[in-house]
Amino acid sequence: MDSSLFEQYNEATARSGSPFSSGQQPKSAPITSGYVTAPMEEDVKIFTRQKINFTPPRAITHMVANNNMLMIAMMDKTLLRINRDQPDQRNEIRFSDEKIYKMFLDPSGNHLIISTEAQDVLYIGKKSRKAKHLAKMKGHLIESVGWNKTNRVETTTTEILLGTSRGYIFETLIQAGDDGRFFQQNPEQYWKMVYNLGKESTVPVTGLHVERLQAASADKQKTIFIMATTPERMYQFIGPLSSVEQPVFQQVFQRYENTIPTGFLELPGNMGYSQLQVYTPKQTTTPEAFAWMSGPGVYIGSFDLQELSRDNLTKDSHLLIYPMDKDGSSQKKPISMILTEFHVLLLYNDRVQIICTLNETPIDEDIYQAKFGKMLGMCRDVVKGTIWTYSDQAVFMYKVNREPRDVWKIYLDKGEFNLALTYCQDNKAQRDEVLRKQAQSFFDQGQYDKSALYFASTEMSFEEVALKFIEADKKEALRIFLQKKLASLPQGDKTQMTMLVVWLIELFLNQLGTLRNQPASKEKYESVHDGFQKFISQKRVMDCLKNNVDTVYDLIASHGDVTDMVFFAMLMKDYERVISHHIQGEDHQAALEVLKKTSKKQLFYKFSPILIQHIPKELVTAWIKQEAALDPKKLIPSLVQYKHTGLGGQTHEGIRYLEFCVTKLRKEEQAIHNYLVSLYAQHAEEQLMKYLLLEGEDQSRVHYDLKYALRLCSEHKLNRACVHIYATMELYEEAVDLALQVDVDLAKRCAEKPDEDDEGMKRKLWLQIAKHVVKEQSDIQKAMEILQECPLLKIEDVLPFFPDFVTIDHFKDAICSSLENYNQHIDNLKNDMDEASESAEAIRADIHNMRNKYAVVTGQHKCTTCESLLLSRAFYIYPCGHKFHADCLIKEVTIHLTPQQRIRLSELEDQIRGLKVPSKGGHQGGRKGEDHSSNREQLEKVQGEVDDIVAAECVFCGDVMIRSIDKPFIEPDELAAKNKSWE
C-alpha cells in the first residue's frame, strides 16, 4: 500500500447538498441591505467517504485504528499492521489458528489485545513480531477494555480494566517484554477481578471508560471516574485514588462491593450487545460527551466533572431513537456507532446513517455498493479524529469537513442565540441573522432595552428599527438603539453622527422634562440625568458638537434646563457663557471658580471689574495665583472699580496685588507704579514712604512719574513724601523749604544731599535752615549748633539773621571760635607759601643741573630700534640709556599717539622741511643774515614742539609703554597680510 494511497483521503470527492438538510439545498438570499450571503466554498458534505485504494490479500475480519496505526485481521489468522506515517513499512504477524472474537487498540496505538472465540487472550506490542498469550486471562471472552488514555509508553499498558462476557471487570498491567529472549515471562504482571456486574444475571460488559481526574489543588487526592455498560444498563463508579498500590482501581470499586451504584441507568430492550463511545475534543484531555448504543436507541449526554462528590457526573442526557426504515414499518438496529462533536454515525450492513445530536435529525445517509460486500465494523482514531469502516473486501475512511459550520443555524432555530453566535465565528452574515432574530425575540417579549442593543448590532435598516420603537412608543429603547448605533459609526461619518447626537440630546431632554415634574420618579430622573451628562461628555460626541454648539444651546434652552446648559458650556469650555450665567444669578464665587479654570486670560480682564466689587479678596488671590500669566496693566481698570471700605483694618486689595507685581513679578511699567503710588497716597502713607525709600533717589532709576507722584502727595498733604520727591528731582531748595515745615532734622538731611563738589548749594541750603531756626524759632543755641554741623557756614554768614537786640553774649564763643579759625587759616596759608618758595628754588636748581648734564656718545653706539650706528644721523638719547635715531623714534612713538597728535606731528614735520629748504634768488648780505636768524628761531620753536610730542619720555621706559600693554603686537589691518606671508 503506497503512502499516496493513504493520503488520498485529503481530497474532497463526494459533494452533495447542505449537511443539515434532508435532500433540499438552502438558497442564499440577502438577509439585510448590508450583507448578501454568497457561498464562500463549494457545498461539501460534512462526512465524505473515501475508499482506500487497498486490496487486502485475504478477507478482512476485524480492524481497529488509533494514532495513525491500523490493525487489520484477516481470515488466514494473520494481522496486518500499518503505520500511516510510514505506510511502506507494514508488517504481518501470524497468530494462533483460533478465530478472533474482538480486537482492542489503546489510544497511543502501541498496545493491541485480541480476544479469541476459544477464550484465549493475545497481546501484541508496537515492536512485537508475534502475539503473546496472556495465560491468566484464559477462559474469558473480553468484551471491552478501559485503557489509560494518557499512557504513551511502548513497554507497558499501565493499569487497565477489562470487561468480560460474564460481567466481570478485571484489572491488569501488561508488559511488552522482549521477543528475542528464549525464556519469556508472563506479559500480564497481575490479574485481579475488581467488580462483578453480573451478580443478578450474567451480562457482558460491553463498554468501559476510565478517567483520571486531576485534583483542584495539589494537596487533594486524584479522583477516578469509571463508566461501564451492559446491553441494558450504564454504570458510573467514582472514588478517590488514595494509594498507588496495585490493584489501584480496587479502591474505587470497594465502595460498591455490596451494592449496585445508585447512579446506574437502565434502558429496556436488550438487543444482545451495546457500545460505549466517549468524545474528547482535540487539545484537551477532559471528555466532553458520551453516547451509549443500546436497544431502544442511542443514549447521549455530556459530562459535568466540576462537582465530583455527586453519584451522577452526566448532564443534558437524552435518548436518540433509531430512525425507521424507508417504508417506516420498523427500526433497524445498527452494527456499530461512532460519536463526534455534534453527530452520531450509525453503521448498518449496507450503509452509514448520520444523525445530528443537537436536533436528532438525520442529515445524511451513505450507501455502500453491493460489490464491496457486507459492512463488518466501524472505528474511530481518537487521536487523529479519522473514522474508518470496513467490509471483508475493502477499507473506507471518512474525512470530517468543518463539522460545526451549520451548528449556528440549529441553535438559532432552537432559540439558543448565544450558542448560535459562538458557532457563527467570523461569518458576518450569519452573525447578523442571529442578532436580528435575537433582537426581535426580545422585542416580542417586551424587553425593549435589550432588543435595542441587539438591533443596533445588526445591519438592519436604521429607519425600520427606529420606526419600530417609535410606533411602540418606547423612547428609552429608541435612545439606547441610537446610542449603540452612534458608537458603531466610523469617526469620519460626521453627518450621520451629528444627526444621531442631536436626536439623542432631544430624546434625553424630553425624558428629563417628563421626569422632572414627577416627584415619585426622582431616582429615575437622577439616573437618566447622569446618563445624559455622561453621553455628552464622551470625546467623540464633544468633537461632533464643536461645530454645532449653538444648535445644542437652543435645544437645551427650549427645555429650560439651565443646569445642563451650564454643564454643556463647561464641557465645551465656553467659560464666558458660564461666568455670565453665574454673574447674572449673583453667584460671584461660582463665577470666580470657573474663571480660575480657563486658560483664556481675556476673560479675567472682562469680568474682573464686576467681580472685584463683590469678592475683591478672592479675586485678587486668584490674580496672584496666575502670577505672570496676567498683564497687571490690563487689570488696572478693574482696580479702579474697587471701593475699599477699610473696615476691620482690611488691607486694600489693589495695594496687595500691585505690591505683588512690584516685589515678586518685578514689574517696571510706570503705569503700575503710578497707580500704586496713587493708592498709597489715598490709603497708606507709611507704606508710601517705605515704597519711596525702596525706589531710591536716583531719578533715572525710579519707576514712577515724579511729577505725578509730587502732585498726588501735595493734594493729600503728604509733606514728607513731597520732600523725598523734591530731593529725588534734585530740587533741594524746595525740599528744604518744605522740610522746614515738617522737621528741621529732615531739612538738614536734605541739605546734605547735593554733591560734595557743589559747596555753594550746600551752603545756601544750610543758610536757609539757619535763617529758619533764627527767625522762625528764635533759637540762637540751635543756630550755633548748625554752625558746628556745617563747616561751610561762618558766624558772619548768620549774623545778619539775628535781631538787633541780641547781645554778643549769646554768640561770643562762636565769634571767638571763628576768629581762631581765621588765624589758623592765615597760619596755614603762610606755611603753604613757604613750601611753595622752597619748591621753586629746588626746581630752579634741577633745571640748572639738567642744563649741565651730558652723555658721551661714541662711534660704536647704535640705535636701539634699527641697530644702525647712532652718529649716522640726528638722534635722541635718554637718561635711561636708550638711544634712537630721530626718524626711528618718531616711527615708534607715532603708533601710540592719538589721531589729533598724529595730525599735528605731520604738520610740524612739513613745517620743518619747509624751513630747511634754502631761499631762491639773491639777497643783500644784511637781509640774508636776518632771514637765517628768523628761520633758525622758528625751526627751533617747531623742533621744540616736535620734541614735546615724541621725546617727552622714553618710548620703552615711560608711561607710553604701560598704556600700550593691552594693544596687540600686530595691528588688525596688518594681520591679514602677515597671515598670508606665513602661508
- First CA to last CA distance, the chain: 96
> Which band of pLDDT confidence, cut at 50, 70 and 90, is reported for residue 376?
very high
pLDDT at 882 over 50: yes
Q: How far apart, in whole angstroms, are the C-alpha atoms of residue 16 and residue 300?
A: 27
Q: How far apart, in whole angstroms, are the C-alpha atoms of residue 682 and residue 348?
A: 118
Q: Rounded to 5 degrees, what angle do the CA atoms 613, 619, 625 make?
A: 165
Give the tens place of pLDDT for each residue, 679-724: 888 888 888 889 888 888 888 888 889 999 899 998 988 888 898 8
Q: How far apart, in whole angstroms, are the C-alpha atoms of residue 105 and residue 322?
A: 28
Provide the 3-class DSSP secondary structure of residue 968.
Answer: coil
Nearest to 225 by CA among 252, 264, 256: 252
Residue type, 869: L
Residue type, 728: T
Q: In the prediction, which pLDDT does 67 show?
A: 92
Q: Would you say 419 and 412 are in contact if contact means Cβ atoms under 8 Å apart?
A: no
C-alpha cell at 953: 619720555
Q: How far apart, in whole angstroms, are the C-alpha atoms of residue 292 and residue 266?
A: 11
C-alpha cell at 967: 594693544
Determine the average pLDDT of the residues in 816-839: 77
C-alpha cell at 952: 617727552
Residue type, 51: K
Q: How far apart, in whole angstroms, are the C-alpha atoms of residue 358 and residue 347?
A: 19
Give the tens place of pLDDT for each residue, 111-160: 999 999 999 999 999 888 888 889 889 999 999 999 998 888 988 999 99
User: For the whole prediction, is pTM greater than 0.75?
Assistant: no
Q: Would you say 609 and 584 are in contact if contact means Cβ atoms under 8 Å apart?
A: no
Q: How far apart, in whole angstroms, are the C-alpha atoms of residue 764 and residue 742?
A: 19
Give the tens place of pLDDT for each residue, 740-772: 887 777 877 887 777 777 777 777 777 677 676
Handedness of CA 609, 611, 614, 616 (dihedral sign): negative
Give the tens place of pLDDT for each residue, 286-314: 899 999 999 899 999 999 888 877 888 89
Cα dihedral 824/828/830/835 (nearest 10): 160
455 secondary structure, DSSP code: H
Q: In the prediction, which pLDDT does 217 show?
A: 59
Q: How far apart, in whole angstroms, are the C-alpha atoms of residue 343 and residue 362?
A: 9
Contacts of 131 (CB under 8 A, 6+ apart): 79, 93, 94, 95, 96, 114, 122, 123, 124
* CB-neighbour burial class of residue 286 (10 A; exposed 0-12, middle 13-18, buried 19+): exposed
Q: In the prediction, which pLDDT does 20 show?
A: 30
> Which band of pLDDT confidence, cut at 50, 70 and 90, is reported for residue 813?
low
Q: How far is CA 875 from the centre of its chain?
A: 88
Given the C-alpha cell 536716583, which residue does it identify? 698
* CB-neighbour burial class of residue 293 (10 A; exposed 0-12, middle 13-18, buried 19+): buried
Which range in 166-175, 478-487, 843-852 is most confidently predicted, on average pLDDT? Answer: 166-175
Which range in 308-312, 328-332, 555-559 is most confidently predicted, on average pLDDT? Answer: 555-559
Q: In the prediction, which pLDDT does 258 show?
A: 76
Nearest to 653 by CA among 681, 692, 613: 613
Q: Would you say 893 and 908 are in contact if contact means Cβ atoms under 8 Å apart?
A: no
Q: Would you say 59 and 74 are in contact if contact means Cβ atoms under 8 Å apart?
A: yes
| Distances 9 to 70, 405, 867, 972 between C-alpha atoms, Å | 15, 20, 119, 99
pLDDT at 466 over 70: yes
Edge-to-edge, what's the strand order for the sheet holding 233-241?
A: 207-213, 222-229, 233-241, 265-266
Give the tens place of pLDDT for each residue, 241-291: 877 788 889 888 988 887 777 768 999 888 889 999 999 988 788 899 999
Determine the average pLDDT of the residues in 315-343: 86
Q: In the prediction, which pLDDT does 38 show?
A: 43
- Helices and strands in the chain: count of H runs, count of E runs: 34, 30
Residue scoring higher pLDDT (63 or 923): 63
Q: Rounded to 5 degrees, what angle do the CA atoms 741, 742, 747 make?
A: 85
Q: Would you say 425 and 409 are in contact if contact means Cβ atoms under 8 Å apart?
A: no
Residue type, 734: E
pLDDT at 823 over 80: no
Q: What does the mean pLDDT of the chain come to?
A: 82
Q: Would you say 739 and 705 are in contact if contact means Cβ atoms under 8 Å apart?
A: no
Q: What is the 3-state secondary structure (H, E, C) of 911-938?
A: HHHHHHCCCCCCCCHHHHHHHHHHHHHH
> Which band of pLDDT confidence, cut at 50, 70 and 90, is reported for residue 8?
very low
Q: Rounded to 5 degrees, what angle do the CA atoms 498, 502, 503 make?
A: 115
For 144, the enclosing helix (H) or strand (E) is strand 142-146
Handedness of CA 646, 647, 652, 653 (dihedral sign): negative
Residue scoring higher pLDDT (852 or 833): 833
Total Cβ atoms within 10 A of residue 963: 10
Q: How far apart, in whole angstroms, are the C-alpha atoms of residue 535 and residue 504?
A: 9
Edge-to-edge, what's the strand order for the sheet holding 289-293?
A: 275-279, 289-293, 297-303, 314-321
Give the tens place of pLDDT for each residue, 479-513: 888 888 888 888 888 888 889 888 988 888 888 88
